[in-house]
Structure formats: C-alpha cells, structure tokens
Amino acid sequence: MLAAREHRAARQSALLRRFGCPLVCLTMNIPGPVKVPEGAERAFALALERVDGALAQLGAAVLCREISVEKTGCEAFFAVQADPQALKVRMTALEDADNLGRLLDLDVLTAEGEKLSRPTPRRCLLCSRQAQVCARSRAHSLEELTARVRAILAEVAP
C-alpha cells in the first residue's frame, strides 16, 4: 500500500507539471486488506460518471483523464481547467450525496499541488461522529467496517 501511495503522489506531481492546472483525484475508501471487493469496480464506474457529469456542469475543460484499477484499489486522475475552490465544493457534494459518495475520496489539488480541505469533516461510515475521530480511536472493528462497505456496494452496484 505504501508503494501505491508513493506511485499516486508521483503520478499527481507528473500531471501537475505536465498540465499546470488543478487535479481531481478519485479513490475509494475501502478499509481492510482487500481494496477491490465485489462490486467495487461497478461502484467506481458509477463514481466516474458522477465526476464526469459534475465537471461538465461546471463547464470545466478536462485535459487528461487517467483511470487505474489495481489490486491496491481504483483510482482516477483528472487534469482540469477550472477554479479549484469550485471543484472542491462540487467534489465534496458528490462525497456527501449518498451511500456511494461515502465510499469516495475526491481530492482536489491546486495547480501548485496544494490539497484543498473539506469545508466540513467527513462522518464515520457507522456512526455520526467524525471519521477521523473513530479511525484514530479504532472505535469500530475492521469486520464492522468491511461489512458496512459490502452492504453499500451491494446497494449501489448490485
């Protein structure tokens, strides 16, 4: 997983250098060792459609769209000519829209490589507390989290 993170960071840097515009980076929040469980690829395809639609609604010019599905997870990069703050607002709305959005991580990087923060913290998949608080304290077991993810995938990508 560390190698996958390093590869993702290198890819982001290369795209920022090449295109000189903001990036939208889509990954999926899948806890546990299996990063592409049953239904994840179908859910990822739906997520791609949503991101494409949101970018079109913003009138953003997509200069590059790279997609990768590996055992370490699903990811996509979009080099986009658009206001990064407007992108972050739209991507946060997708994350917060429904159960599929709960499994998405939509990062926005400025042309300078600065990762924009969410205006409000994410909520835990299992309770109403902030996700970071639950993750740090290990409030929920891996089994509980993976069961919830499986249920969401079965619901959104049967």
In a domain, 48, yes or no: yes
**Residue 64 belongs to some domain of the structure:** yes
User: How do residues 44-82 score in pLDDT, each as one tens digit?
Assistant: 999 999 999 999 999 999 999 999 999 989 999 999 999
89 is a domain residue: yes
8 Å CB contact between 136 and 18: no
- How far is the C-alpha of 8 from the C-alpha of 15, rounded, in Å? 11
Confidence of residue 34 (pLDDT cuts 50, 70, 90): very high
Domain presence at residue 139: no
Bridge partners of residue 64, in order along the sequence = 79
**Which domain does 72 fall in, by range?**
2-120
Please state the pTM of the whole predicted model.
Answer: 0.92
Angle between helices 40-58 and 142-156 (to 10 degrees): 70
Cβ contact 14:100 at 8 Å: no
Structurally, how many domains does the chain consist of? 1
Please check whether residue 40 lies inside any domain of the structure.
Answer: yes
Residue 97 and residue 76: Cα distance in Å, rounded? Answer: 19
**CATH number of the domain residue 56 falls in:** 3.30.70.260
pLDDT band at 8 (very low <50, low <70, confident <90, very high): confident
pLDDT recorded at residue 126: 92
- Give tens-digit pLDDT for 9-23: 889 999 999 999 999
Is 30 among the domain residues? yes
Does the residue 125 lie in any domain?
Answer: no
**Within-domain flag for 95:** yes
